[in-house]
Structure 1
Amino acid sequence: MTDVDDPILLLRASLAAGERVALATVVHTRGHCPREVGAKMLVWRDGRTAGSIGGGCGENRIRLAALTALDEGRPTLEQVDLLDDPSLPDGAVCGGVMEVLIEPFGC
């Protein structure tokens, strides 16, 4: 990841520009998950993202939850169950559960 893609640096720049953004951080995992604890994704009000918490349907669900957190102006803890993710091909290594903290900023 380059500095240009670093969610924390982009968070600081976005806040300095007066933008509303949400930071999603993987805070707990069980089983096989695509990303480790500490992985981050930044979500802007227009739906753009930077960084990744793993991709697929789980990441899209977190993007949508981040937009809701921005609308409501409060943090949330979301659980992503990757055990039955239909976007995963047969033989995929995922099969765990991630907990993701979503924190809105600039609200």
Structure 2
Amino acid sequence: MEQALFRYICECQDCGGKAALVTIVETHGSTPRKAGSAMLILPDGRAFGTIGGGCGEAEVRRQALTALDENRPRLYTVQMLNDVAADEGMVCGGTMEVFIQII
């Protein structure tokens, strides 16, 4: 995880804010990032860090905002399989398991 991301997490917690920490825990096939990549999503939708960008990251951001609303962590699978990837303009063809943690 990048040092800048740790700084944002600390700032968020120091201000009493809530955020979703999204971490890739496992990948299969071709994915833009690998396990350990992380990003922080704030309730207003701002994001710090990346798990690869594009449609997959946008999908995870929506899931993170839902997790924040429900105040419940979740494990989520991002499917970037060849047929889905081609339809969405993705260049990858694998899957990513991400853990969305409320901090």
TM-score for both structures, normalised by structure 1:
0.86
> Do residues 97 (structure 1) and 91 (structure 2) align?
no
1:87 maps to a residue whose letter is: G
2:89 maps to a residue whose letter is: S
Q: Which residue of 2 aligns with 1:43?
A: 41
- Could you list the runs of 5+ residues in structure 1 that have no partner in the other structure? none
**Structure 1 residue 9 displacement after superposition:** 2.0
- Find 1:75's aligned residue among 73, 76, 85: 73
Deviation digits for residues 35-78 of structure 1 (CA, Å, limit 9, x no counterpart): 01000010000000010001111100110111111111111000
Q: Tell me the distance in 2 between the aligned counterparts of 1:38 and 1:44.
A: 19
Q: Tell me the distance in 2 between the aligned counterparts of 1:87 and 1:43.
A: 24
Q: Does the residue aligned with 1:32 lie in a helix, a strand or coil? A: coil
Q: Tell me the distance in 1 between the aligned counterparts of 2:33 and 2:20.
A: 19
- Say how many residue pairs are matched: 99
1:1-107 pair list within 5 angstroms: 3=3, 6-83=4-81, 84-85=84-85, 86-88=88-90, 92=91, 94-105=92-103
Considering fraction of residues, name the structure with more helix.
2
Percent identity, aligned pairs only, is: 44
Q: Does the residue aligned with 1:102 lie in a helix, a strand or coil? A: strand
**Structure 1 residue 2 displacement after superposition:** 7.1
RMSD in angstroms over aligned alpha carbons? 1.5
- Could you list the runs of 5+ residues in structure 2 that have no partner in the other structure? none
